[in-house]
Copies of this chain bind each other. A is one copy, B any other.
């Protein structure tokens, strides 16, 4: 891929169901979220401006699924597939982070 304007990392860390920390891809369903980001990217054909990559643990597992956007370093928590279009329009395409999903200061 070419160097993107914004790079989205979707946590797909997995842990067993009984693990006390939970995990974004285990108990929080981030695999569907990753697919939603990739589908939205395909729909909008934003391959030159936006990159979507899965990643390991981003920290606040109990508040996941977590999504991190660089270069701003904005961490989103509790993201669902229903939020993806809004994140694309507001942040990824227009540079305005989506305030309502930004992770709390104490975790990032």
User: Residues of A at under 8 Å CB distance from B?
Assistant: 1-3, 7, 9, 53-59, 68, 70-73, 75, 108
Contacts and interface: CB of A to CB of B under 8 A. Distances in A.
A2 B108 contact: yes
Contacts of A7: 68, 70, 73
A20 to B, nearest CB: 18
Contact of A54 (B56, B71, B72): B56
Number of copies: 2
A59 B4 CA distance: 11
Given A1-B59, A55-B56, 8 more contacts: A2-B108, A3-B75, A7-B70, A9-B9, A54-B56, A55-B55, A70-B71, A71-B71
Contacts of A75: 3
Contact of A70 (B2, B54, B59, B73): B73
